[in-house]
C-alpha cells in the first residue's frame, strides 16, 4: 500500500464511520437518550456552577467524532507497532471520557459515547487495513527507506514487484561529501557552534542528494554517503552521480558563504565519486537493520574525498566513473593514486562541469593543464612548467593548478633528469585512511 493508497484508506474509513454515526444521530435517539442519562448523573454526583444547567451542542458532537474517526484510522494504519496502535486507542478513549465531565463544569453537555464508537470502529478497520499484506509491506519498507530515498522513489518501490532485486551484486556509484577541516575548526570554534555547522552540512547534503534520486547510506559528521543505482538497474548511475555532484557543489558554494557569515569560519568541503561492483543487501539487526552495500569502492571514495584537501579541488572522480561519464562531462587529470590492499594504481580526475559548459578559454586552459600533467609524469619539468603557465586564467584562483605548477618548478630547480624520474609510479599518491 503506497502513500496515496494509505491516505485513501484512512479517508474511506473516516467517511464510513462518520457517515454511520451521523445516520444514527438522525435516525435514532440512542445518543440523545444517553446524553439525558449522563446529564442526570452529573447533577447527582457533581457540583456544577451556577444553576447547573447544561447546554447540548450537537455540531460539537459531529466535529468530535469525525476528527476522532479520521485520526484513529490514520494512526492505526501508519504506526508500525501494534503496541503503539493500541496505546493510542486506549488514550483516545480515556480523553473522550474525561472531556465529558470537564465540559460539564463549563456548562456544556457532551456525550462521549459517539466518540467512543468512532474510535473503536475506525481503530478496528484501521488495524485490519494495516495488517493486510500490502499494509505490512508498506510499513516494513517505510522503516527501512523512510528519509533515505525521495518520495517519488519510495512510491515506485512500493508499487514494484521486484523487491528481491535489492539483493545481489552489481556495479554502483558512490558519492561522498565531507567537511575536510574538522580538526582545524574544532580548535577555533565552540563545540555548540561546530555541532550546528556539522548538522547543517549533513542536512543540506542529504536532502539535496535524496531529492536528486540517490539512496542515503550514511549521514554523520565523518561525511554523507549516498549510493546511485541501488534501487534500479539503469546503466547511467555514474553520469547521474556526476550531475548530483555538480548540483551539490553549487549548493555548497552558497552554504559556505552562509556559514562564514554566521560563524566567521570557513569550512573546506570535498566531494568524491567512485564506481565499482558492490554487494547489496539488508544488513544489521532490529532497529539497526537497513539496506546498504559493501565493496572496495566505498572506502576508496572516502579516502579519495579527503585528498581534495591536498589539491584544493572540489570534486574528484575515480577512473571507472570517468570512463562511464566522459562523453557527457568535462574533467582534467590529477595524480595516479592507489590504496594498499584495496585498489590498484589508477588515475583520478577533477570534475569541472557538464559537457558544453566550458568556454573556449577554459577549454584551452584545460588542454594545456592536461599536457602539463603528462609532462610532469614523464619528468619533463621544463615543458610541464610552460604548459601550466599557458593554463592560467587571469584573475582566477586555481588551487590544483598551483599544486602541480609548484611540483614542476621544484623538479626543475632540483635539476632532475627525465631518465632518473621516469615512470608513473613517481607521481602516484597513496590514499591513506583518514
Query: In this structure, are 257 and 325 located in the same domain?
Result: yes
Residue 157 located in a structural domain: no
| 14 neighbors 70 (Cβ within 8 angstroms) | yes
The answer to whether the predicted template modeling score (pTM) of the entire model surpasses 0.85 is no
Rg over alpha carbons for the chain, rounded to the nearest Å, is 32
C-alpha cell at 160: 514494484
Q: Which CATH number goes with the domain that contains 306? A: 3.30.70.1230
| 332 neighbors 369 (Cβ within 8 angstroms) | yes
Instruction: Going residue by residue through the chain, which has 434 residues, state the pLDDT in tens, using 9 for 90 and above.
Output: 445 556 777 888 989 999 999 999 889 989 989 888 998 888 888 877 766 678 898 999 999 999 999 999 988 887 767 788 899 999 999 999 999 999 988 888 999 999 999 999 999 988 887 665 455 555 566 666 777 887 777 667 666 655 546 678 889 999 999 999 998 999 999 999 999 999 999 999 999 999 999 999 999 888 999 999 887 777 899 999 999 999 999 999 999 999 999 999 999 999 999 999 999 888 887 777 788 899 999 999 999 999 999 999 999 999 999 999 999 999 999 988 877 665 578 899 999 999 999 999 999 999 999 999 999 988 899 999 999 999 999 989 999 999 999 999 998 887 654 444 444 435 567 666 54
Beta carbons within 8 Å of 376's beta carbon, 6+ residues apart: 384, 404, 407, 408, 411, 427
C-alpha cell at 149: 530515498
Q: What is the dihedral of CA 80, 86, 87, 90, to 10 degrees?
A: 150
Query: In this structure, are 125 and 264 located in the same domain?
Result: no
Query: In this structure, are 316 and 180 located in the same domain?
Result: yes
Domain that holds residue 286: 163-357
Domain-terminating residue out of 301, 322, 357: 357
Query: In this structure, are 367 and 352 located in the same domain?
Result: no
Residue 28 located in a structural domain: yes
Using alpha carbons, select from 247, 225, 216, 248 the residue that is nearest to residue 149: 216
Query: In this structure, are 262 and 283 located in the same domain?
Result: yes
- Report the number of distinct structural domains present in the chain: 3
| 316 neighbors 405 (Cβ within 8 angstroms) | no
Length of the chain: 434
Q: How far is CA 8 from CA 14, 77, 85, 270, 329, in A?
A: 10, 11, 19, 44, 44
Axis crossing angle, helix 399-413 with helix 360-378, rounded to the nearest 10: 40
| 237 neighbors 173 (Cβ within 8 angstroms) | yes
Query: In this structure, are 259 and 390 located in the same domain?
Result: no
Amino acid at each position: 500500500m503506497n502513500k496515496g493508497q494509505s491516505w485513501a484508506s484512512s479517508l474511506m474509513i473516516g467517511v464510513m464511520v462518520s457517515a454511520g454515526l451521523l445516520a444514527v444521530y438522525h435516525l435514532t435517539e440512542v445518543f440523545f437518550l444517553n446524553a439525558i442519562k449522563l446529564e442526570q448523573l452529573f447533577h447527582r454526583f457533581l457540583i456544577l456552577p451556577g444553576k447547573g444547567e447544561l447546554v447540548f451542542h450537537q455540531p460539537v458532537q459531529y466535529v468530535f467524532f469525525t476528527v476522532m474517526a479520521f485520526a484513529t484510522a490514520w494512526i492505526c494504519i501508519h504506526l508500525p507497532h501494534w503496541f503503539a496502535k493500541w496505546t493510542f486507542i486506549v488514550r483516545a478513549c480515556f480523553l473522550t471520557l474525561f472531556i465529558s465531565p470537564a465540559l460539564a463544569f463549563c456548562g456544556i453537555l457532551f456525550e462521549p459515547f459517539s466518540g467512543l464508537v468512532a474510535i473503536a470502529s475506525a481503530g478496528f478497520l484501521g488495524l485490519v487495513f494495516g495488517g493486510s499484506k500490502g499494509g505490512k509491506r508498506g510499513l516494513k519498507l517505510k522503516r527501512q527507506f523512510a528519509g533515505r530515498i525521495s518520495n517519488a522513489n519510495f512510491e515506485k518501490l512500493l508499487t514494484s514487484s521486484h523487491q528481491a532485486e535489492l539483493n545481489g551484486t552489481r556495479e554502483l556509484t558512490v558519492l561522498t561529501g565531507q567537511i575536510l577541516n574538522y580538526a582545524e575548526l574544532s580548535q577555533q570554534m565552540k563545540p555548540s557552534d561546530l555541532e550546528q555547522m556539522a548538522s547543517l552540512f549533513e542536512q543540506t547534503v542529504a536532502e539535496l542528494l535524496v531529492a536528486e534520486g540517490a539512496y542515503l547510506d550514511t549521514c554523520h559528521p565523518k561525511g554523507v554517503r549516498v549510493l546511485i543505482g541501488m534501487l534500479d538497474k539503469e546503466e547511467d548511475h555514474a553520469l547521474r552521480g556526476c550531475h548530483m555532484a555538480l548540483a551539490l557543489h553549487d549548493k555548497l558554494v552558497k552554504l559556505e558563504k552562509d556559514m562564514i557569515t554566521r560563524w566567521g569560519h570557513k569550512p573546506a568541503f570535498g566531494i568524491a565519486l567512485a564506481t565499482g561492483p558492490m554487494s547489496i543487501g539488508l544488513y544489521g539487526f532490529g532497529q539497526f537493520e537497513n539496506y546498504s552495500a559493501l565493496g572496495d569502492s566505498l572506502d576508496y571514495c572516502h579516502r579519495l574525498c579527503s585528498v581534495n584537501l591536498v589539491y584544493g579541488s572540489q570534486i574528484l572522480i575515480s577512473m571507472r566513473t570517468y570512463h562511464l561519464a566522459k562523453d557527457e562531462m568535462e574533467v582534467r587529470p590529477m595524480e595516479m593514486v592507489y590504496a594498499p590492499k584495496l585498489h590498484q594504481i589508477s588515475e583520478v580526475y577533477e570534475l569541472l562541469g557538464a559537457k558544453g559548459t566550458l568556454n573556449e578559454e577554459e577549454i584551452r586552459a584545460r588542454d594545456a593543464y592536461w599536457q602539463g600533467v603528462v609532462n610532469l609524469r614523464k619528468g619533463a619539468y621544463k615543458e610541464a612548467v610552460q604548459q601550466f603557465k599557458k593554463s592560467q586564467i587571469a584573475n582566477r584562483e586555481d588551487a590544483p593548478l598551483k599544486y602541480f605548477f609548484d611540483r614542476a618548478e621544484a623538479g626543475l630547480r632540483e635539476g632532475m633528469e627525465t631518465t632518473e624520474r621516469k615512470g608513473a609510479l613517481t607521481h602516484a599518491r597513496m590514499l591513506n585512511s583518514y
